[in-house]
Amino acid sequence: MSDIPNIRFRPATEENPATRWALIGAAFLGLSVLVFAPLIAVFAEALADGVGASLKSLASPDARDAIRLTLTIAAISVPLNAAFGIAAAWLITKFDFRGKAFLITLIDLPFSVSPVVAGLCIVLMFGTNSLVGGWLVAQGYPIVFAMPGIILATMFVTFPFAARELIPVMIEQGRAEEEAALTLGASGWRTFWTVTLPNIRWALLYGVLLCNARAMGEFGAVAVVSGKIRGQTATMPTTIEMLYQEYLSVAAFSLAAVLALLALVTLLLKTALEIHHADQLAASHRA
């Protein structure tokens, strides 16, 4: 066998090692400067006066109210958006009707509209000076500068996440399994719970995670509609900004660190989903 020349197979995309390492190095450098450094800075600033001071600032009534409000908003708007997302994706993928293309465009609208504009629209529609808003205030149900407005703003901004994740998955899966369930005598409702929902469960969870991360972090739209009333309508992001404006650096960054930690947990869960259920996620097909 020694007379066979030793041919080295070279993949078509191979670059020489120097180029490769330079590129990888540049990517890591960019990531460090843009992502890791700020993240570390947030935690460093939060702990500048020690763990005790940081924890004490988080225990203050304002911080606790902000955390509670943000978690409440997420707990209400994320499930609602998950439900709307499923409904929209179901409608778009399982039925043929006129105006479908328009509906798909509409779902993406929040991605292209500035959150501040969205917030202003809500104020215009439901503010005290508007017809609907004035009437609701008179009945004792204010929307703007109150919880309902914040929920509306959050839901508008996060609406596309669940639907966008579900539509490609549901298109790929087709209608055959649902039709099979119907021929076997299952009602539409039963078909949904026993066939459709189990088939999209990982994609749905993925969409919900993204939706939740954005819901807790939303600033622009919420800042406009909430009025940022301390202890009442100030969420975590708006409270962070107010504390920072008042030079309460430890308090601002401690709250920011909590928000960042929540984001990191989301990221970990998201990555775990990507590793274990890649085949059932739309995101992995897009990549």
Partner 1 sequence: MHIEIDEISKAFGTTAALHPVSLSLPSGALVALLGPSGSGKTTLLRILGGLEFPTSGRVRFDGQDATGLTVQERRAGFVFQSYALFRHMSVFDNIAYGLKARPRASRPTREEIARRVTKLLELIQLPDIGARYPSQLSGGQRQRVALARALAIEPRMLLLDEPFGALDAKVRKELRQGLRDIHDTTGLSTIFVTHDQEEAMELADLVVVMSMGRIEQIGKPQDIRARPATHFVREFISA
Stretch that binds partner 1, among 48-56, 118-126, 181-189, 211-219 (CB under 8 A): 181-189
Question: Which two structure tokens, joined as six digits, stand for 263?
Answer: 């984001």
Q: Is 11 exposed, middle or buried (0-12, 13-18, 19+ CB in 10 A)?
A: exposed
Q: Is 101 exposed, middle or buried (0-12, 13-18, 19+ CB in 10 A)?
A: exposed
Name which of 144, 147, 202, 137 is nearest 169 in CA terms: 202
Considering the rule CB under 8 A, would residue 184 count as an interface residue with partner 1? yes
Considering the rule CB under 8 A, would residue 185 count as an interface residue with partner 1? yes
How far CA 16 is from CA of 7, 12, 13, 20, 242, in Å, comes to 18, 12, 10, 6, 51
Name which of 247, 21, 271, 279 is nearest 173 in CA terms: 279
**Residue with structure tokens 């993925």?**
206
Considering the rule CB under 8 A, would residue 195 count as an interface residue with partner 1? yes
Q: Which of 181, 216, 221, 273 binds partner 1 (CB under 8 A)?
A: 181
Nearer to partner 1, 238 or 280 (CB): 280
Cβ neighbours of residue 237 closer than 8 Å, sequence gap 6 or more: 70, 217, 218, 219, 222, 223, 259
Q: Which of 80, 113, 171, 182 binds partner 1 (CB under 8 A)?
A: 182
Q: How far is the CB of 79 from partner 1 (least distance, A)?
A: 22
Considering the rule CB under 8 A, would residue 129 count as an interface residue with partner 1? no
Nearer to partner 1, 173 or 249 (CB): 173
What distance in Å separates the CA atoms of residue 79 and residue 211, rounded to the nearest whole number? 10
- String marking each residue 67-96 x if it binds partner 1 according to CB under 8 A: ------------------------------
Nearer to partner 1, 64 or 190 (CB): 190
Q: How many residues bind partner 1 (CB under 8 A)?
A: 16
Nearer to partner 1, 29 or 184 (CB): 184
Give, as ranges, the residues between 238 and 267 that touch partner 1 (CB under 8 A).
none
Considering the rule CB under 8 A, would residue 100 count as an interface residue with partner 1? no
Question: Which two structure tokens, joined as six digits, stand for 66?
Answer: 């902000």
| Binding interface with partner 1 (CB under 8 A) | 176-177, 179-187, 190, 194-195, 198-199
